Amino acid sequence: MTEQVVLQPVDQAHALVELASEKQAYDIVLVDVREATDFADYFVIMTAESPRQMRALIEDVQDAMRAVDIRAHHMEGTHLSGWVLIDFGDVVVHVLGPEEREFYDLERVWPKAVEMVRLQ
């Protein structure tokens, strides 16, 4: 019998930061939002250079989470909209285009949130 490895939300978030970095996303931020929201524990926010890269990042994130038996509860946006939100429950991933990232400045929206990791 194969034992299923269960990743804690913080470990899921760190793994997604690493994946985003490997896949050439930039301005990657991991934010602890446990004190700021009641709908998630962590946000992973990243910027994609183009719609094509955004589509690839979205697929890679979903594949990585499926590999540890975690499915998205909800997804909003498309690679053509400039902002995709993927809700995995405790971890929410935001993939944005450069203009959307600058305009919405998500990591500043929740003042009680704590930035844990930032990769340029």
Phi then psi dihedrals of residue 93, to 5 deg = -105, 130
Q: Is the pLDDT of residue 1 over 60?
A: no
107 in any annotated domain: yes
CATH number at residue 101: 3.30.460.10
- What six digits make up the tokens of 75? 């997804």
9 in any annotated domain: no
Model confidence, pTM: 0.93
Beta bridge pairs of residue 47: 26, 96
Domain that holds residue 86: 14-119
* Count of C-beta atoms within a 10 Å radius of residue 5: 8
3 in any annotated domain: no
Q: Taking the C-alpha atoms of 105, 56, 32 and 113 in order, what is their torsion angle to the nearest 10 degrees?
A: 10
| E strand or H helix that includes residue 119 | strand 114-119
Q: What pLDDT, in 10s, does the model give residues 60-95?
A: 999 999 999 999 999 999 999 999 999 999 999 999
Number of independent structural domains in the chain: 1
